[in-house]
């Protein structure tokens, strides 16, 4: 008998050890909620882009005549004033052309004087009836032709003089030379177009950035918005600017449409050089010391696999819990709006002969609620979710979203609708709906790779789009 009792005790001990080991292993591999709380801090909604630095005015100085560069008087980075000599072309041929034009003018002037003398002589003879009228008219025509020849010779002289003057290249503006594209002895040809000899920037104290902004973000850009940017040459330095112009001409590259945004930037230390690539951050909105929650909290959604891992009872209605919570919040907001409209004082309006009208903010809210509720009830996909999540307003024309976060009450997640404002990608502003002590679920920490694989989804385990 004692022998059987001994075996029974051994079997019980082994069974207990197996149960304890299994429970230990189960608890060891039990996943944990990844949680966070609302915090106070700064949020900035920004648009990022890349661009290039350029001077405000960049003039390309060319030449209207062909020839060999005889002398260069200015070089890179030299400061010049308007009218100052930059370069001189070889003037030998141009001077010869000028001398020839002067000779042609002198010859034409002599021929004109001779024709004039003949014409005046024939006029005197005609008055004395000593020559026919035909000879007088012929002499007049010859004199007029000589006058036209003199006029053409003067134009040729002016052209030759202008060509000679153009051989002396002068600066059209005050500024600094940022580029010199020719050397002494080089021949330039201006037959088809004017070759560029120098590029002059008018002022490097003030620069401008041409930033390419994607068409999805261009609607957020307004004139006067503050801009922060940096350049690779000074990675630790932060520069500032301001949006000055939004150009309407689009550019398309690889089916991506973008628009040029011009940004003013001060450059008192001349650290910013023409052509530098800039990483631009345009600040759309900025708020300080606001209640904010992680963006991941608004993207978490329940799934049957995750619920079972935590030992929670799954119900298919949990998939609609977020939408239902939003609908309840919107119904409440609509009821409050209607009650406010009814409670408006009407006595003064009646006395003054004015009709009682609902508040300006009540009407768009009611319309948007109707649209959103219809979308939610009629659709269970993404379109209904987007309509519900973007249908409410707060403040003077400032658009807000209604999102759902899952809050832990004990060990059970509960959906809570929250009204959110601006977002910087990491955090989103909370306008109402949650307090700073709530523990929000932002994801799941798996201790077993197999669990993560079985519960994984295209958007990550336990993560999904907003309701």
What's the pTM value of the predicted model, to 2 decimals? 0.64
Query: Does an H or E element contain 277, and which?
Result: strand 277-294
Residue identified by tokens 């004087």 is: 113
Helices 133-166, 92-127: crossing angle, 10 deg rounding? 160
Per-residue model confidence (pLDDT) at position 25 = 57
CA dihedral angle for residue 426, residue 431, residue 437, residue 443, rounded to 10 degrees: -40
Q: What is the DSSP letter of 215?
A: T
Cα-to-chain-centroid distance, residue 155: 53
Return the number of other C-beta atoms located less than 10 Å from residue 52's C-beta: 14
Q: Which helix (H) or strand (E) holds 365?
A: helix 362-378
Distance CA 327, CA 329 (A): 5
What structural domains does the chain harbor?
A: 29-42+291-341+358-454 (no CATH), 47-55+202-288 (2.40.30.170), 60-88+170-201 (2.40.50.100), 91-166 (1.10.287)
CA 180 to CA 184: how far, in whole Å?
11
CB within 8 Å of 13: residues ≥ 6 apart = none
What is residue 315's predicted lDDT score, i.e. its pLDDT? 80
Taking the C-alpha atoms of residue 61 and residue 301, their distance in angstroms, rounded to an integer, is 64
| Nearest partner of 406 among 419, 418, 422, 391, judged by Cα | 418
Number of neighbours of residue 305 by Cβ within 10 angstroms: 16
Q: Which stretches of the chain score pLDDT less than 50?
A: 346-398, 457-467
């Amino acid at each position: 008998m004692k022998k059987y009792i001994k075996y029974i005790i051994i079997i019980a001990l082994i069974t207990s050890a197996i149960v304890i080991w299994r429970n230990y292993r189960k608890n060891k591999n039990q996943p944990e909620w990844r949680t966070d709380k609302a915090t106070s801090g700064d949020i900035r909604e920004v648009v990022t882009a890349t661009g290039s630095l350029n001077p405000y005015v960049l003039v390309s100085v060319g030449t209207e005549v062909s020839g060999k560069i005889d002398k260069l008087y200015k070089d890179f980075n030299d400061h010049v004033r308007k009218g100052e000599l930059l370069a001189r072309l070889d003037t030998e041929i141009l001077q010869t052309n000028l001398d020839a034009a002067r000779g042609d003018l002198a010859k034409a002037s002599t021929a004109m004087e001779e024709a004039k003398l003949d014409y005046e002589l024939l006029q005197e003879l005609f008055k004395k009836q000593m020559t026919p009228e035909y000879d007088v008219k012929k002499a007049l025509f010859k004199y007029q032709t000589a006058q036209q020849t003199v006029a053409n010779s003067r134009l040729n002289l002016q052209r030759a003089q202008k060509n000679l003057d153009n051989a002396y290249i002068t600066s059209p503006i005050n500024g600094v030379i940022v580029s010199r594209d020719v050397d002494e002895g080089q021949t330039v040809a201006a037959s088809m177009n004017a070759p560029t000899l120098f590029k002059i920037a008018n002022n490097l104290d003030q620069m401008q950035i041409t930033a390419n902004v994607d068409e999805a973000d261009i609607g957020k850009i307004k004139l006067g918005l503050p801009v922060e940017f940096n350049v690779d040459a000074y990675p630790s330095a932060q520069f500032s600017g301001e949006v000055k112009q939004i150009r309407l001409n689009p550019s398309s590259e690889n089916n991506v449409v973008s628009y040029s945004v011009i940004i003013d930037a001060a450059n008192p230390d001349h650290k910013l050089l023409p052509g530098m690539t800039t990483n631009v951050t345009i600040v759309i909105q900025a708020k300080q010391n606001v209640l904010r929650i992680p963006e991941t909290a608004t993207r978490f959604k329940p799934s049957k696999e995750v619920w079972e891992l935590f030992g929670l009872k799954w119900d298919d209605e949990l998939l609609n819990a977020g939408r239902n919570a939003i609908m309840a919040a919107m119904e409440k907001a609509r009821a409050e709006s209607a009650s406010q409209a009814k409670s408006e004082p009407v006595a003064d309006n009646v006395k003054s002969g004015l009709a009682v009208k609902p508040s300006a903010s009540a009407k768009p809210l009611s319309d948007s609620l109707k649209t959103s509720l219809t979308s939610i009830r009629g659709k269970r996909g993404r379109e209904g979710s987007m309509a519900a999540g973007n249908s409410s307003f707060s403040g003077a024309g400032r658009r807000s979203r209604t999102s759902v976060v899952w809050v832990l009450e004990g060990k059970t997640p509960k959906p809570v609708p929250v009204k959110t404002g601006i977002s910087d990608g990491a955090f989103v502003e909370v306008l109402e709906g949650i307090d700073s002590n709530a523990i929000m679920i932002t994801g799941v920490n798996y201790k077993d790779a197999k669990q993560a694989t079985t519960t994984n989804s295209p958007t990550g385990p336990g993560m999904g789009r907003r309701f």
